[in-house]
Amino acid sequence: MANHSDASEEKLERKTATTEPREKATYAVPVAKGLINTLKHILRNEPNTIHYPDEKRTPYPGYRGEHRLKRDELGREKCVACFMCSTACPAHCIEIVAEEAPWDDREKRPRLFNIDMMRCIYCGMCEEACPCDAIELTPVFNIPARTRAEKIYDKDKLLSL
Amino acid sequence: MTDPIYEILIAILKAVIIFAVLLQIVPLLVYFERRICAWIQDRIGPNRVGPVGLLQPLADVIKLAFKEDLTPQGADKWIYRLAPVLVYAPAVLAFTVIPVGIDLQVATFDIGVIFLFTISGFSVYGLAFGGWASNNKYSLLGGLRASAQMISYEVAMGLSIIAILMTAETVDLNEIVRQQWGAGTLGLLEWNLFQQPIAAVVFMIAAFAETNRLPFDLAECEAELIGGFHTEYTGLKFATFFMGEYVAMITMSGLMITLFLGGWSVPWVEIPTDPSIFDVALSVGFFTVKLFALLFFYIWTRWTLPRFRYDQLMRIGWKVFIPVSLANIGLTAIAGVLGWKWLIPLP
């Protein structure tokens, strides 16, 4: 390994020592190289552009977009209003008001569950903090709105996503 | 034919048509610049407005026309207003003497080249005034750089042309074009590009500097001077600067074609002594093809090279191009006196 890196370093040194001053003196060689390179790009003409509103990119797995609240197999919200997510949230964008749950398997459920999407930094800490796997970040990245009020998502909206 | 009113009408018609076409090339050129730069950078470029985005320049013009026209506080109002015109007008005026077809130019002067140089030198006033009058330190720096750069490179450019004028023994641009036509397959070798390669290279690079194009756009310098001399300009004043720059590019390309690339002459087709409309159209067509090829080269270079540093710019200008073009003049003179026909074209 050591030998290899020495050799490549030496090669690099020799390269800079011999070719650079001559090229710098005239600029002609680097200019010609650059022109050929850009011409290749023109002729190849393979744009990387995605025509956004017409074509949409599929986000990679693990992409952190808008939140949603999950339901369990009985159709109830999984959230037990433990406040772990709102405590973990570095942007303090989760507002929870708890109420007593009418079911036997848990003590509480959220009466209010508001996320202020304008404050959210999409870090995913809430998802990690949640003990019941009730909140998760979806890959939805198309998030504009016309008013700030629209970007405060309440419990119904979060459950419906 | 000799009726003076008829002559005047023909002159007006020529001026209107040539200027109208010239000004229509500018938006087309802006469009091509944006498309080609996009291709170089593996993007697509404007393709939404109109068919393949061709109406994009029109949309830009409408946007610029409706922008608020600001004058910064403390600006020298009259000079501030004058500056864009001083960039735009010389570029358009200089085009008057460039022959675009067989003996077809707006104004026929015997002193074509000299007039062109006198007029196009004025555009530096526009840049310097714009930078000075904006009451902005970045603009001032841009204006100063523009003056220093353009004065330096004008010397090299003028010297490179002197060598051409020495062998041509005339300053009439049509005559210079006629001399560059040659019969047969090797007719293209009569072009001054091959007869005077040193002058051609120096002229080409000086033309980049004169028109403030990359790699010599030190007057603008988005990175260091936030736009340089035109930082404070908005709306149509900015558009005038912009147009002036592009027209100057077209004018310089036209001059380059006329002096070095055989101008309007059509290779392998003898220049007719009594040209018909068809001959003139063909020559205009060939001029246009060469013009667009050269403009493509301008754009291609711009999106390839980074900007030179100020000291590099000055070093290349004063220590390389001026001595080289002086040496070229000396060589041409010696060859002319000793009659070395193998080295330079002698009349």
- Record: contact B305-A34, CB cut-off 8 A: yes
What span, in angstroms and rounded, lies between the C-alpha atoms of A124 and B22?
58
User: Which residue ranges make up each domain of chain A?
Assistant: 2-44, 67-160
B297 touches chain A (CB under 8 A): no
Q: What are B318's two structure tokens?
A: 């004063």
> The pTM is what?
0.78
The neighbour count for residue A39, using CB atoms within 10 Å, is 13
* Nearest one of B192, B194, B119 to B162, comparing CA atoms: B192
Query: Is it the case that residue A23 has pLDDT exceeding 50?
Result: no
Measured CA distances, B2 to B6, B8, B9 (Å) = 7, 10, 12
User: Which residue ranges make up each domain of chain B?
Assistant: 76-338
What span, in angstroms and rounded, lies between the C-alpha atoms of B211 and B204?
11
Residue B119's identity, in one-letter code, is I
Residue window 20-49, chain A: list those with CB within 8 Å of chain B. 27, 31, 34-35, 37-39, 41-42, 45-49
Q: What is the CA radius of gyration of chain B?
A: 21
Please report the pLDDT score of residue A90 as a whole number: 92
Chain A positions in Cβ-Cβ contact with residue B42 (cut-off 8 Å): 41, 46-48
Residue B156's identity, in one-letter code, is A
pLDDT band at A18 (very low <50, low <70, confident <90, very high): very low
Q: pLDDT tens digits, chain B, 347 residues: what are they?
A: 567 888 888 888 888 888 888 888 888 888 988 888 888 888 888 888 888 888 888 888 888 888 888 888 888 888 888 888 888 888 888 888 888 878 777 777 777 788 888 888 888 888 888 888 888 888 888 888 888 888 888 888 888 888 888 888 788 888 888 888 777 667 677 777 777 888 888 898 888 888 888 788 777 777 777 777 788 888 888 888 888 888 888 988 988 888 888 878 777 777 777 777 788 888 888 888 989 999 999 899 888 888 888 888 888 888 888 898 899 888 888 887 777 666 666 55
The CATH architecture annotation of domain A67-160 reads 2-Layer Sandwich (3.30)
pLDDT tens-digit series, residues A51-95: 888 888 888 888 888 888 888 888 888 888 888 998 999 999 999
- Is B62:A65 a contact under the CB 8 Å cutoff? no
Q: Which of B214, B304, B309, B315 to mutate to test the interface with A (most CBs of A within 10 A)?
A: B304
- Record: contact A48-B42, CB cut-off 8 A: yes
The neighbour count for residue B45, using CB atoms within 10 Å, is 20
**Which among B38, B40, B42 has the least Cβ separation from residue A46?**
B42
pLDDT band at A24 (very low <50, low <70, confident <90, very high): low
- Tell me the shortest Cα–Cα distance from B251 to chain A, in angstroms: 23
Query: Is it the case that residue A19 has pLDDT exceeding 50?
Result: no
State the DSSP string of B174-213: HHHHHHT--SSGGGGGGSHHHHSHHHHHHHHHHHHHHTT-
- Tell me the shortest Cα–Cα distance from A37 to chain B, in angstroms: 8
Measured CA distances, A117 to A66, A88, A106, A150 (Å) = 8, 16, 28, 9
Q: What are B97's two structure tokens?
A: 């003497």
Terminal alpha carbon distance of chain A: 53
- Is B113:B165 a contact under the CB 8 Å cutoff? yes
